[in-house]
Structure formats: structure tokens, C-alpha cells
Structure 1
Amino acid sequence: MIYFHERILGSLIGDETFALPYWAWDIPQGMVIPDMYTNNSSSFYHTMRDVSHLPPQTADLNYVSDTNLSPEDQIDINLAFMYNQMVSGARKTELFMGCTYKAGKEGYCNGPGTIELAPHNALHTWIGSSLNPGREDMGKFYSAAKDPIFYAHHANIDRLWEVWREAHKQQLDIKDPDWLDSFFYFYDENLRLVRVKVGDVVDTIKLGYSYEQVHRPWLNMRPKPSYPPKLARQMLKTKEKNKLEMLSRTLVSSSELDTHGRALDASLTVKVRNHWRKKEKEEEKVIVVHGIEVKGDAYVKFDVYVNLIDQFKISPKFREFAGTFAHIPGGGAGKKKIDLKLGVSELLEDLEADQDESIWVTLLPTTPSCSNVTVGGVRMEYIK
């Protein structure tokens, strides 16, 4: 879509070299809405944005609600969050990109990747107008493209796919023809209807464009545990031994929470078997929060932590943070149950819990709308 949009614009102004800009919100210099989108004399100006988030306000890449953080603190959290979403939590293609569709009625899957959930979904919500019920325009799928910044936002998402492949030294490893041969129709700059396969657009060089290189400080923002790992493990064992509730609820078995799922109307801590074994070199341990069902028409977000001791120390700046679930309503997939997969091999190593028989996984609601969310269960898997 971005590719054809760019070509159409270039054709309209008679400039074959025209290129869309990307909004580099993942680096400190880019963590404010660019001036070209806030100047009310510019064609990129849009009235349906949260006025409290205009410059000099620093973007919140893991947005839930407004905070009183200083710009410096917000930048630090953003960089730590990017490290999790791009590096430690996304060491496999499926974790970063999400699951791949297959042909047939049973081929549908709903397992979004790290970068799609946030910063993608979170920034959509952060930008949208707080005066509108669904934070339109950017905060809802049906209206998001009315805002010109939509295209710069998505150009950066596309750029981060290239950055991810370079950072992990990984080429596309999805060989499934069901996915590569899936196709879509777009109108090109000559008003011709063109059929494009997924396999046609996975290489930006073949499409005729590349991205300006910028420094990526988040690559070196590996977080540290909020408590010394040995002390944390002792505290967890003491709580378990004394049969104290961890946070609000404790569940010993985690294969299935309830027949119809467990409502996420409060924080939920689940004891999960670690299934320790000598893993193969290329395998990744993955926490799977499965059977997520979202009802209602509001932005939904909850965070996932491992071996959390102190709810006052909840932040992507701490190693216990495993990832997030952020859901924008209106995308047409709300009736399907969703699986959240989070890579945790590096996290467990840093918490010195990689060989423990079990770990504690906490689902922490961050929006009131989580009362309309049910979760089927939490388990551990391996991904090759």
C-alpha cells in the first residue's frame, strides 16, 4: 500500500524520484511528532490528534495513558522497550512478524508480532484525538489513514523490518507458498489494477527503494533485573511456600485457566512449567498467552512480566518485562481468539531462571477495558 501510494504521489507531481519520509520515532531525536505534521499551514497538518501530545511532548511507544515522566525518563523507557520488541523478544521471524496465514478455512491464524502490537498499535492510539470516543482518526483502523502521519508511521514500521533482519543477521525464512503466493490488488499510478503477491514485496531493493541509515541506541539498552536474581527467587519461593497470593491471584495449573477463559479484570499470576531441557542451539523459549478474546470497542492493553516481585517496579526498563498486548478495535479480527507469543530465552538467562522447574508469569492489565478480555491459558513452548 505504501509503495503504490508513493508512486501515485510521484506521478501526480511529475517526480519519479519522489519518496515518502519515515518518522523515526525509535531514536531520541525522532520521539516527537515532526514539525511538518504540526505546522497548521502545511498540507500534512491534521486537526484530529491529541493536542497534549504535540511537540515538545515525547512519544510514548508503549502508550497506555498520559504520565508525568520527564522527556529523559520517557526516552529511556522507549529505548528499553524497543530493545525488547526488536531484539530479545523477537529473535525468530514468527515472533517479530506474527504467524503466517495458510490456505483453506483452517488456515486463519491470529498471532500478531511484537512490533505490530507496540509501538505500532500503541502509537496509533497515542496520536489519535482524545476528544473522540475511539481516539479517531489514528486510534481506529477505519479512520487511521485520514491522518497524513499514518504514512510516515507505517514507513517506519516497514523500515524496522529491514533493521530487524540486519540486526539479527536473518534473511526471510518463511518458505510456505501459501503465504508467499497470497496476493492483493492495488491501483497503480496509471489507474491499472495490479495483482501483487506477498513474495513480490519482501525485498525493498527489488521495489526500488532503501532507507537512510540512522543510529540505533536501543540496540545497547539490554535491561537489568529489578532485584538481584538469587534474592528474587528466594522471595518467590517463600511466597509460594506460605501460600500467599502473588499480586491478586495465583494459579498452580496453567494449561487452561477456565473452560470459557479467565477474565482479566485484575492482575493474574500463573505458575508455568518451564519444561527445562537442553535446548537446541537455534531454539527460542516462548511464553504463549493463548485464547485471548477481546470484547467491546475500546483500546485494550496488558503487559506480561516474569517472576515479578514488586508491582511498583513495572517498566520495560526492568528485565522482568516480557512484552505487551495492545489491541486497536475496528480491525475486523476482534471476534477471533488471539495468541500472544513472547520470546524469553535471554530474559530467563538474565533472571537466572532458565533452568528453574517453573516460573511465574504475571498478566498486568493497564487499561480499564481489560475487564472485557478473557484469557484461555499460559504455557511455555520452543520455536526453532
Structure 2
Amino acid sequence: MMIYFHERILGSLIDDDSFRLPFWAWDIPEGMPIPDYYVNKKLAFFHTERDFSHFPPRVADLAYSTDQNHPHVSNDEQTDVNLKFMHTQMVSGARKTELFMGCAYKAHDGYCNSPGTIESAPHNTLHTWIGSSFNPGREDMGKFYSAAKDPIFYAHHSNIDRLWEVWREINDQRLDITDPDWLDSFFFFYDENLKLVKSKVRDVLDITKLGYSYEEVDHPWLSHRPPPSVPPKQARQMLKLKENKKPVLASDFRPDGRVLDGIITVKVSRSMKRESKEEEEEEAIVVYGIKVKGNDYVKFDVYVNLSDETKMNPKFREFAGTFAHIPGGGDAMKKKVKLKLGISELLKDLEADEDESIRVTLLPMTVTCTNVSIEGIQIDYIK
């Protein structure tokens, strides 16, 4: 809705009904550097409050943590990581609606406690990657209150909207939300005539009715399925050696939460649920009771059956997903949230789909994770 009304206002200002905003296709190799017209100082798209060290020819880091905790790699290596990361966020970790979309945001409660895969990353991560390292919250893009001051904000969000359409396409539109409470949720926007317009969710689900389409581009991440970092049989032997080092049990978490002040590995049972699991259900890790204090960017990654700690990288199959939090989102961001990550494909690739338990590792990717507490981890099955 925001992009749609923004386009109409801009089109009215330049007297061009056909005006449409561009999308920044950071999910394909040729689109991963910041587009030239956003870094050319002679053009209006240039913005001073950005991290200039991330300007072209550097490739965007779709899984960005911080430069200190995630050192710069070559552009070829970063591109490879990005494509495998996108496979996790768009395919293997997003096979159900609530995994990709998050929970349905409804007008009657106005709060969603479970973000979708691409909302955490690349959405939140790229906001932070672009923002200026000289500002305390990496403003402008790094904070909610200031992000829209940067012209690239709109190209970034246009690509997020495009990926929603791509996800619907690769799933044959079978996973559209049909909940009327969601479809009838509404927001108010001013149109190009300064008229206040009430817009329902159901009004903006068909982009052809809104008068636009997206340029067709390839989806190379579809074929970049991450491989295991260690051959599964070898990994199983390595994990057996780790059994002497007792992992945290799911029952060891305190009711008030456990602070994420270091790497935590949790042994999570899946046997009881597995017995009643239906074929079409997606198995998912649920990290619940996540509470973020303070006003800083926070990110932690989640791994399954990690046998070699030197290979903690989104380009490997053990990587299940990430939690990335942008500060400045108001009171709603102060509430507890859940992270849900689909792992059915991951477990098959690791040859762990018949195991009674798995080892889930939470890896802090920012020093600010000391402001994060977690109530527990469990396995769930999503229809």
C-alpha cells in the first residue's frame, strides 16, 4: 500500500500516470551492488547518510550482522553466500505461509508476534547494511524512524514486494492467506489528491488491479540449495564425540528467559511429534519468548546439528535461519516474539530426518545479543 500510494503521488507531481518506482534486485548477482544511480553524487538519488564502504563494486551482504563480526569477503564469495541464503529464506525455510509471511497481522489486535523469513533478512539486514556506520543507530536506513529519508528505501521495499509475488508464483498461489480478519484489516493513506483513503489488505493482493507488473528476472537462488558443511555420515560421528559435552536441554530454560550472552546449543526432542506428523506438514524450529531490550540492532543465527564450529556460514545446509531486529519500531517491538524456521528439507539433506532429537545452536552475531533473552526452543509442525 505504501509503495502504491507513494507512486501515485509522485506520478501526479510530474504529471505522469505511468510512473512506477524501480526495484533493487539484490537477489540476483548483477543486482547485488547498490545501483549506480543511488551512488552518483550528481543525481537526486544520492544520500549522505549511508555506509560509503559498502558502495560499489562491493556486493550487498544479505545476511549482514556487523562488519566487526562478519568480515568482508570477496565479491564472488559473497554472491555465493547470498544465493544460498536466498534459497533458505525463499524456498527451504519458507514452505508454508506463516513461515514466509509471518503471522497474519490483523486490525483487531494490531500486533504480529512472529516475523516471516525475508522480513528478518534480507529486509532488516539490508536496512542495517546500507545505514551509516557513523550514526549511533546506523541512521537513516538502520532505524525505523529515519529509513524513508533515504531514496533507496523505496527500491528496497519494491523488491520485497516483488519477492512476495515471486514466492506466490513458485508455490502456484496455493499458500495465499484466506483469513477474512486479515483480508479485511485496513490502513489509511493519503492519495495524490490529499484525500484520506481507507485501504483493505484484500484491495492490494492483485497487482494487475493496481495497474503494474514486475520486470521478469531470473531466480538463480532456486538452484543454489546449500550443501552440508561436512558429509552427513562423518558429521554424525563428530556429533557423537560431542555427546560428552552435555548440551543445554529445552527444559533448562528459565521462565523469565535465558540471556543470549554466548553460543547456546540445545538438544531438542522431536520424537513425540514425529509419530503423528502428517506428510504435508512442515517441521519447524520455534524459538519462543524472544525479548529484546535496548535500542540497538540485534541479530542471531540458528544452526542444526552443527558438527564443525569453524563452518558457521549461511552457505551451508546446517544454517536454518536468522533473527534480525531493527530498533525504533514502537511499543510493539517491546513485546515477546517467536522465530519459526522450516527445517524439513534441511533435515533430509543432513540425513537427520529420522532422528529422535536434533541439536539446535543459537549463534549471537552482534554484541548486542546480551540484550536478548529467550524462553525456549521446541519443534512444531505446520500444516
Name the TM-score class by shorter chain.
over 0.9
Distance in 1 of aligned mates of 2:173 and 2:379: 24
Residues 267-307 of structure 1 deviation map (CA, whole Å, 9 limit, x = unaligned): 00000012322632321001000000000111100000000
Residues 256-335 of structure 1 aligned to structure 2 (within 5 Å): 257-275=253-271, 276-277=274-275, 279-332=277-330, 333-335=332-334
Structure 1 residues 104 and 184: CA distance shift in structure 2, 3 A: closer
Residues 328-369 of structure 1 deviation map (CA, whole Å, 9 limit, x = unaligned): 000122210010000000000111111100000000001000
Correspondence for 2:228 among 225, 242, 254: 225
Correspondence for 1:196 among 192, 196, 199: 199
Q: Secondary structure at the match of 1:334?
A: helix
Distance in 1 of aligned mates of 2:111 and 2:135: 32
Displacement of 1:255: 5.0
Displacement of 1:109: 3.1
5+ residue gaps, structure 2, are none
Q: Is the 1:264–1:374 Cα contact (8 Å) retained in structure 2?
A: yes
Residues 141-220 of structure 1 aligned to structure 2 (within 5 Å): 141-220=144-223
Look up the match of 2:356. Answer: 357
Distance in 2 of aligned mates of 1:284 and 1:351: 16
Indicate the larger mover: 288-297 or 224-233.
224-233
Root-mean-square deviation (Å):
1.3
Displacement of 1:36: 0.8
Q: Is the 2:301–2:365 Cα contact (8 Å) retained in structure 1?
A: yes
Task: Find out whether 1:93 has 2:79 as its counterpart.
Answer: no
- Residue identity opposite 1:116 in structure 2: E
Q: Is the 1:24–1:156 Cα contact (8 Å) retained in structure 2?
A: yes
Look up the match of 1:140. Answer: 143
Distance in 2 of aligned mates of 1:174 and 1:334: 24
- Residue identity opposite 2:379 in structure 1: M
- Residue identity opposite 1:347 in structure 2: L
5+ residue gaps, structure 1, are none
Correspondence for 1:73 among 72, 77, 84: 77
- Residue identity opposite 1:183 in structure 2: F
Distance in 2 of aligned mates of 1:292 and 1:50: 29
Displacement of 1:130: 0.4
Q: Is the 1:36–1:44 Cα contact (8 Å) retained in structure 2?
A: yes
Displacement of 1:231: 2.0
Distance in 2 of aligned mates of 1:32 and 1:61: 11
- Residue identity opposite 1:294 in structure 2: V
Correspondence for 2:116 among 104, 113, 118: 113
Task: Find out whether 1:374 has 2:373 as its counterpart.
Answer: yes
Q: Is the 2:265–2:360 Cα contact (8 Å) retained in structure 1?
A: yes
Task: Find out whether 1:36 has 2:33 as its counterpart.
Answer: no
Distance in 2 of aligned mates of 1:197 and 1:256: 44
Look up the match of 2:248. Answer: 251
- Residue identity opposite 1:311 in structure 2: E
